[in-house]
Amino acid sequence: MKEDIRPTTAVVPCPVVLLSVAGIPRSNIITLSWVANVCSDPPTVAVGIRPNRFSHALVKNAGDFVLNIPSRDLFDATVFCGTKSGRDHDKFAECNLTEGKASKVASPLIEECPINIECKTSQVVSLGAHDLFIAEVVAVHVDDGVMDESGKFTPSKMELFTYLPLSGQYRLLGERITK
């Protein structure tokens, strides 16, 4: 039997990313789950951000940002950066995260994240509670420690986790499945 619940954002599971962005007087980090790969060529991502979030104006002004994929050791920082505002907190400093120089964008990357995806905003679509930032991926950096000898990303070498709306849970990834 199916229950008809209220219309809501029910796609599960969702990625969890730390978006880093340049700002004055300091750069900021915001944790987001309303994010996806949306086009292969040019490689493009889409990111939903509420206009009232401190990072919204930063992302709009910067015109670029970095999506950083955290491992489980950054889970507490992930929750902190998703619930505290950059208006009141220096998130890089308070989370002991290192601001790294990106190669193609002005916004900084987060050194401690095994995957960094540099993005340049191409358009912003207003949807209501969130604006959708559509952005081209211009560079990707992957840590040696999460790749095999041939340079291929190997998910078992990091502790990726995911967010589940409807339940509010975060879960680690588990075993691989194949046909």
For 55, counting Cβ atoms within 10 Å of its Cβ (0-12 exposed, 13-18 middle, 19+ buried), the class is buried
Q: Does 18 bind a second copy (CB under 8 A)?
A: no
Report phi then psi at 21, rounded to 5.
-145, 145
Among the listed ranges 20-28, 58-66, 88-96, 113-121, the one in contact with a second copy (CB under 8 A) is 113-121
Residue 39 near a second copy by CB under 8 A = yes
**The residue to which tokens 């967010």 are assigned:** 163
Distance CA 126, CA 158 (A): 35
Amino acid at residue number 32: L
Q: Considering only the stretches 22-30, 57-65, 84-92, 142-150, report the one whose residues sit in contact with a second copy under the rule CB under 8 A.
A: 142-150
Name the residue nearer to a second copy (CB basis): 92 or 133: 133
The binding track of 143-162 with respect to a second copy, each residue x by CB under 8 A or -, is: xx--x---xxxxx----xxx
The verdict on 139 binding a second copy (CB under 8 A) reads yes
Q: How far apart are the first and last CA of the chain?
A: 29
Contacts of 4 (CB under 8 A, 6+ apart): none
Q: Can residue 171 be called a binding residue for a second copy (CB under 8 A)?
A: yes
Question: Which amino acid, one-letter code, is at 56?
Answer: H
CA distances from 57 to 21, 25, 40, 82, 99 (A): 10, 13, 27, 16, 20
Shortest spacing between CB 24 and a second copy, in angstroms: 27
Region binding a second copy by CB under 8 A among candidate stretches 22-30, 53-61, 88-96, 135-143: 135-143
Between residue 44 and residue 103, which ones bind a second copy under the rule CB under 8 A? 44-46, 48, 67, 69, 72, 75-76, 79, 103
